């Protein structure tokens, strides 16, 4: 078998930056707290925990004092920074610059919408770390939507400004945006710039992977998509592979591989999410290559 790792897969800039900051900090001390999993990949979280990274939640943050806490790439709401000041916590802020810019845009739009009796709508996963940071810019007034049923939360007689979680599917964003437009037209009889403002805030480092992945999936007989099950970006990119190649399989690591997926002479492509470390994809590649002797010609 020929086994290839997609050169465009692996960490995005924001995740790579956060992990580098964590590792640099842990070289100076044997313990560093991190607010939530630094990346949605259990194996990478385990590797870093063995180096001294301690994952905490927001309730635990309230109890900490006089220590260092890493803010991961997803960003945090204003409340987290207030808590840090009150508890004398030094924040190691690894928020992705793309996310920070989006937070500022959401805050600016929210202030405008408040004056116009409008609404901020965010296309994203409710409870996702990045979305929590975004809704925090709106005093928790933003409406989070994922599917058609969520649209009922919106008052279509009032102005709407739409943003997206940076790691969501571009296709999904434009589909939900179109549905919002249609609902506003139905409610008001027309659609003006004052009624609706859609902002495609998806990270281009993420969205540009979709066309690249489509070609990669087409060029291989079998696709092994390596990702943590918690990764929103991973779920979206896996669907891109599956749409092009029905022999695409979602795995967290090499232990989930099934010999039945492979045939002698297959071209096997390995790819992953923006939260998938390269070392893990290389580990899967080595395992597939070691399995090759088990496969017989059809």
Q: How far is CA 112 from the centre of its chain?
A: 27
- Is 27 catalytic? The answer is no
Q: Given strand 222-226, what is the order of strands in its sheet?
A: 2-5, 267-272, 222-226, 248-251
Cα angle: 189, vertex 135, 65; to 5 degrees:
175
- For residue 174, the surrounding DSSP H or E stretch is helix 170-188
- CA–CA dist 67, 90 (Å, integer): 6
Contact criterion met (CB below 8 Å) for 277 and 41: yes
Residue among 130, 175, 182, 193 flagged as catalytic: 130
Phi and psi at residue 88, to the nearest 5°: 55, 45
Half-sphere exposure at residue 202, Cβ-oriented, CA atoms within 13 angstroms? 21
User: In DSSP terms, which residues pair with 122 in a beta bridge?
Assistant: 144, 163
C-alpha distances out from residue 223 to 127, 211, 261, 274, 292, Å:
30, 15, 10, 17, 16
> Rounded to whole angstroms, how far apart are CA atoms 163 and 166?
9
**β-pairing verdict for 160-164 and 196-198:** parallel
| H/E run at residue 162 | strand 160-164
Write out the catalytic residue numbers: 130
């Amino acid at each position: 078998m020929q086994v290839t790792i997609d050169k465009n897969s692996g960490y995005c800039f924001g995740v790579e930056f956060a992990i580098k900051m964590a590792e640099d900090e842990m070289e100076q001390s044997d313990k560093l707290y991190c607010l939530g999993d630094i990346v949605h990949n259990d194996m990478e979280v385990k590797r870093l925990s063995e180096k001294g990274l301690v994952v905490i939640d927001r309730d635990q943050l309230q109890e900490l004092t006089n220590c260092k806490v890493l803010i991961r790439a997803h960003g945090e709401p204003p409340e987290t920074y207030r808590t840090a000041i009150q508890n004398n916590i030094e924040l190691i802020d690894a928020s992705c610059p793309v996310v920070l810019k989006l937070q500022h845009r959401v805050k600016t739009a929210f202030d405008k919408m408040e004056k116009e009796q409008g609404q901020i709508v965010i296309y994203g996963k409710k409870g996702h770390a990045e979305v929590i940071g975004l809704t925090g810019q709106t005093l928790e007034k933003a409406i989070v939507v994922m599917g058609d049923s969520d649209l009922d939360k919106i008052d279509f007689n009032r102005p709407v400004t739409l943003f997206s979680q940076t790691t969501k599917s571009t296709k999904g964003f434009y589909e939900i945006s179109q549905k919002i437009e249609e609902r506003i037209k139905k409610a008001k009889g027309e659609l003006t710039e004052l009624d609706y403002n859609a902002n495609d805030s998806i990270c281009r480092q993420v969205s540009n992977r979709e066309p690249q992945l489509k070609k990669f999936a087409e060029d291989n007989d079998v696709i092994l998509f390596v990702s943590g099950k918690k990764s929103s970006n991973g779920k979206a990119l896996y669907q891109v592979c599956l749409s092009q190649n029905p022999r695409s399989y979602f795995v967290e690591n090499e232990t989930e591989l099934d010999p039945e997926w492979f045939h002698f002479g297959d071209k096997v492509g390995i790819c992953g999410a923006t939260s998938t470390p390269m070392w893990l994809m290389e580990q899967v590649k080595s395992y597939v290559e070691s399995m090759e002797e088990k496969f017989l010609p059809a």
